[in-house]
Structure 1
Amino acid sequence: MSLRSQDGQRIPNSPIAAAKNSGAISEGVSQRKIAKSLKLSSSTVHNIIQRFRESGTISVRKGQSQKTILDARDLRALRWHCITYRNAIVMEITPWAQEYFQKTLLVNTIHRAIRRCRLKLYRSKKKPYLNMIQKRRRFLWAKKTVLWSDESKFEVLFGKLGRNVIRTKKDKENPSCNQLSVQKPASLMVWGCMSACGMGSLHIWKGTINAERYIQVLEQHMLPSRRRLFQGRPCIFQHDNARPHTASITTSWLRRRRIRVLKWPACSPDLSPIENIWRVIKRKMRQRRPKTVEQLEACIRQEWDNIPIPKLEQLVSSVPRHLQTVIKRRGDVTQW
């Protein structure tokens, strides 16, 4: 269907041309047919025609669009306040903005203004708390120029679902969309060591660990791993400041064996590359989802043996970069 204006000119059959010329549409054609032929909504055609009848033009009058409540200067002040008080929520920023700008502002208005400031609300990352003494010790430790060891806890995962599930909004209470969990799942405590040369031994036991059991682990697994990986070359042994590690009988045993121990600053999991190994293995466990303790132990040992040497070299070679970051941040927490 071809539409013509009052002066007889043909109106092109496109939405853009309709927006420019539909105000002069000749009478006799219903707005519904015009909207259907031009693939526009009936309300859009009605508004354009009414605007033309009232003002003689289809263009929006100057100042007719919604004005922004906060100008560029206000946005700069809002951005400075948000960066200064990063932990403040929008509900706390809104009263400050109303008092500072002397304007009636809603929470949604402040939320949109924050996005206009090129800022976005993110969930804050969890990092260990460090006091000034711990930061200073980390800073001094980072200036130094290793067999890395650590323990980690693995739990049996229940159900078939992982962290995410694909569902509709109505399936919120559907049992097939729930992730099953138990109050005290069966778990294993795992000790392991690694270096840039390769993976060391892996020891798995149930329950907690004390100093006596930790010394047995060092005798049966750490010493053979050190001889196999370094072949008699001197090395420094690293472990964190857990109670079994810093017990008097453990330190005396290490002293008798003449094992050099790297002094470890407190709350520093970001400086140990073996933490990345645990993260990789736990991600594999979430994918495989072992149902029993025996399956969990078998999966852990299999994934431990499958860690490639280039991955270990990459992790160990990244330590100097982490140390430079610690020095740059004056001992504060880094990313890991």
Structure 2
Amino acid sequence: MQAPVMGRAKVPFNKKIKIKALLEFGITQRRIATTLGVSKKCVYNVSKKLKENLPLLNAPGQDRKKAPTPINDRNLLRLCKKDRTKSSQMLSSELILSNGEHLSARTVRRRLLDMGYKSYQAKKKPLRTPAHKKQRLLFAHEHQYWSHEWNNIIWSDEAHFEVLNRKNRTFVRGLPSEADQPFSFIPKVQGGRGCISVWGCTAGGTRGPLVMYSGKVDGCAYVKIIEEALTSFIENTFDSFNKNWVFMHDNAPPHRSNYTMKWLQDKGIKVIKMASDAARS
């Protein structure tokens, strides 16, 4: 007695002939399935085809699909590396055009996952022109032998946090009839009032205070943000004998304004020249 076959499997035509003969002999479907090692569903389908006078052969496309070959995988990987942004549907179409191989979009995704190629959301970064890259390389060459000197650099920057008008999607669970309920909505404001902006600095592992501000920033507004926090940070971090510290901020327009440069010069705050920032230069 054979064990019944579990899952979808192709049943040979000669076995279907045996099922037909046993059915015509009056054997029950359960006993036929147990004797021939097939599922009861298979015996039922054969019985149904006999009653409807249908052929016992499998319909076109009913058999198990052929598994992708190593050649298919290499061709798929080559197309994927050629353009990493193409969707699985586009890769499936290109496979058909390039070598006539028919792989569904679902199979394409599965094969890429098996090869370790997951789908990620691309990260955004400022555009770097050849001039920007040249300036940054020059900056790296000029300071490649620095070691403890980096502890005398006062690093500073601004950060902006979206509190209400966040760009990422928020999912909620509810019934279709609850689409107008308060939990189905996310508050949104206009005019940039949903954003919190902060300025901060650090040097040699010592963190400075965070200064919160709002609105647009020009040279005058920038000085008001840093004048108290920066001067107190310098006094509390560096002793009177250390005159080697320098201040660094990026090339944003408020930082390069005449008002800011004059204030830094009047306060005796030395500024290290930073490589050009593509997003702000």
Asked if Structure 1 and Structure 2 have the same fold, meaning a TM-score greater than 0.5 normalized by the shorter chain, the answer is: yes
| Alignment of structure 1 residues 204-223 onto 2, 5 Å | 204-223=212-231
Pairing 1:66–2:65 present? yes
Rate the CA distance shift 1:87–1:155 in 2: closer, same or farther, 3 A: closer
* Paired position in structure 2 for 1:245: 255
Q: 2:173 aligns with which of 163, 167, 176?
A: 167
In structure 2, distance between residues paired with 1:142 and 1:191: 25
Specify the code of the residue in structure 2 equivalent to 1:220: E
In structure 1, distance between residues paired with 2:120 and 2:220: 45
* Paired position in structure 2 for 1:136: 134
Asked if 2 retains the 8 angstrom alpha-carbon contact of 1:238 and 1:264, the reply is yes
Rate the CA distance shift 1:172–1:18 in 2: closer, same or farther, 3 A: farther
Count the aligned residue pairs.
Answer: 229
Rate the CA distance shift 1:73–1:147 in 2: closer, same or farther, 3 A: same
Gap regions ≥5 residues in structure 1: 6-10, 12-16, 36-42, 52-63, 270-336
Asked if 2 retains the 8 angstrom alpha-carbon contact of 1:188 and 1:207, the reply is no
**Larger helix fraction of residues:** 1
Larger Rg: 2
Question: With structure 2 as the length reference, what TM-score do the two structures score?
Answer: 0.64
Specify the code of the residue in structure 2 equivalent to 1:132: P
- Match of 1:100, SS state, is helix
* Paired position in structure 2 for 1:235: 245
In structure 2, distance between residues paired with 1:102 and 1:156: 51
Asked if 2 retains the 8 angstrom alpha-carbon contact of 1:152 and 1:189, the reply is yes
Gap regions ≥5 residues in structure 2: 7-14, 47-62, 147-152
Task: Please state how far the C-alpha of 1:154 moved relative to its aligned partner.
Answer: 4.2
In structure 2, distance between residues paired with 1:110 and 1:172: 38
Asked if 1 retains the 8 angstrom alpha-carbon contact of 2:164 and 2:195, the reply is no
Asked if 1 retains the 8 angstrom alpha-carbon contact of 2:157 and 2:249, the reply is yes
* Paired position in structure 2 for 1:182: 189
* Paired position in structure 2 for 1:118: 116
The superposition leaves residues 74-93 of structure 1 with CA deviations (integer Å, 9 ceiling, x where unpaired) of: 21122022112212233433
State the identity as a percent.
Answer: 24
- Match of 1:237, SS state, is strand
Task: Please state how far the C-alpha of 1:48 moved relative to its aligned partner.
Answer: 6.8
| Alignment of structure 1 residues 102-113 onto 2, 5 Å | 102-113=100-111
In structure 2, distance between residues paired with 1:30 and 1:95: 44
In structure 2, distance between residues paired with 1:104 and 1:216: 65
* Paired position in structure 2 for 1:200: 208
CA RMSD of aligned residues (A): 3.9
- Match of 1:217, SS state, is helix
| Alignment of structure 1 residues 1-336 onto 2, 5 Å | 17-19=3-5, 31=30, 44-47=39-42, 65-68=64-67, 70-143=68-141, 144=143, 145=146, 146-157=153-164, 164-165=170-171, 167=173, 170=176, 173=179, 175=181, 176-184=183-191, 185-232=193-240, 233=242, 234-267=244-277
Asked if 1 retains the 8 angstrom alpha-carbon contact of 2:72 and 2:101, the reply is no
Q: Which has the higher contact order (CA 8 A, sep 6+)?
A: 1
The superposition leaves residues 268-298 of structure 1 with CA deviations (integer Å, 9 ceiling, x where unpaired) of: 89xxxxxxxxxxxxxxxxxxxxxxxxxxxxx
Question: With structure 1 as the length reference, what TM-score do the two structures score?
Answer: 0.55
Rate the CA distance shift 1:191–1:66 in 2: closer, same or farther, 3 A: closer
In structure 2, distance between residues paired with 1:128 and 1:169: 42
In structure 2, distance between residues paired with 1:172 and 1:118: 40
